[in-house]
Structure 1
Amino acid sequence: MEEIKVDEKEVLACCGSTQFAKQMAMASPFPSLDHAISIAKDIWFNKVDIIGCLEAFAAHPQIGESPSSHTTSAQWSKGEQSTALATATDAGLQNRYSNRPILELEIASQEQMKVTELRLRKLFSTKMKADSARSRYSSVVASKAEKERVGIIGQHLTATSEGFPAKAPQVQARTRPPITTHVLDVSKGCPAAGIEVRLEMWEGSQPHPSFGETDMGRWVLEGSSTTDRDGRSGQLMSIVDALVPGVYRINFNTGKYNPGGFFPYVSIVFEIKETQTLEHFHVPLLLSPFSFSTYRGS
């Protein structure tokens, strides 16, 4: 398949962030849809700041609002909203109602990527059909005398290819480390910059540390960094295709960030099983001087 090229205007129809659109256009052309989606996730989660996220959110018409134009983005929004209204439940809304704004921002960012991926698939499908139509037209014009013979050969090849099993899907190479984190200061409603972060893995005679026992192994440093102005950590480990299964922990130097706070540091311990080594683990910290919480993102 020929590489697919996209411009900023086309990408803006998929995601309303100009930061995102510019970087996707710069990364174009793409050898496949899967590669484009992989690059899109890396740009959205690692390179677009909060201003860019809010710009993307604002580009969506509110639920129930009629699109103000007949652009591709507006028509896509209309269809997506119809699906959202048909599948929304009162229970889901009630569960989200009590969320803090900073947590809603993270959830919205995850949902925005789902919408962007859906729209990228639509965009690529349209462009591939157009390219295919142009290619067929050029072939007919270039060789009218060969039309019948080419048609017969094409039918033969199509029938033959159906007899072969489909190729196994290829695993896309990672574009970011398999374990990442970011810190949000929920007391201020903004990212927490300048927090020292360390990623460690458990190594010992037991597969994981037992509760209350400290002499069965040790924690081995995988990497360290400091959160940037968007609260994101730098690279905490190498970009590897498959993680080593085991128990990991991320330590945050919260005492230095909040000298008058309750926590001198925060440790988040989690386990990656053998069936999860190809997955991505985003483990954020939602922090205030006297409380913290976490969850597994993507």
Structure 2
Amino acid sequence: MAAPMLLSAEDVLRVNGSRRFAAAMAAASPFASLADALLAARRIWLNEVDVNGWLEAFAAHPAIGTTSPSVSKWSKEEQSALSTATDSTAQELAEWNARYREKFGFVFMICASGRTAPEVLAELKRRYTNRPIVELEAAAQEELKITELRLAKLFSSEPTVPSTTTEGPATQSDKAAGSSNRSRPPITTHVLDTARGSPASGIEVHLEMWKDSSALLSFSNKDFSGWATLGYSVTNNDGRSGQLMDIVDNIAPGFYRISFNTRKYSPAGFFPYVSIIFEIKENQTAEHFHVPLLHSPFSFTTYRGS
């Protein structure tokens, strides 16, 4: 069984810049699992951290789309999809960032993982029309999404599991940068709400790998603590998740599990949590695996897409 995760305030400050949040999370640790840490983070951020703590956390982030060398590796990873922005879009984004800060007094907060520059710009313009109190709440929710994503990185599996994001979160990405023939990670997903006939946004997605394939295959081992987290994201307005793992040419063969927190999206639904387990064989390591979820309140299905 995995050892509980003990977090120091310094660890948490890498995740969220609020000192009050960091102290409370450190006091609440150790955490037996990522799920326990995420529950604590949500409770502390929404119920124990005041507005000053929120603003302190916002101030730790660069303006969206910033390319300065001082920007942290995690911020660069989270905004990687913005790197292809055209000069005109980047300029407009910078102008709207300044306009937003002048109106609200803090940096525009958005969980940019998997979002393109035009998507971020459109959301910035939309939220610019909010009243300050409404926008403060929206920014706090986006900060929480980023916090949850970064906590998942802290809880990433041991170095023995290939293609994970471990300590020094950008280490694997840095090694792969510029060396992979892929344009996207080997495993991707999206969620479609079949009851509404539209993409399902705001659904938390976790990707894991089983560390002992033989034990899972035979089900002789009833201890299912062998799942190692590879990545975490939240579906965007198109129902697509952000990057769940590094972009590598060859993924490790084995069993993978992709899980969706559907309770928040559909509180009255029958399935509060959906997990899909699939196998990548030795001769499939260079292939792409798109594993979507087609969800309604009382049923779900999946398939292997492209």
Output the TM-score relative to the length of structure 1. 0.42
Which protein shows a greater Rg? 1
Output the TM-score relative to the length of structure 2. 0.41
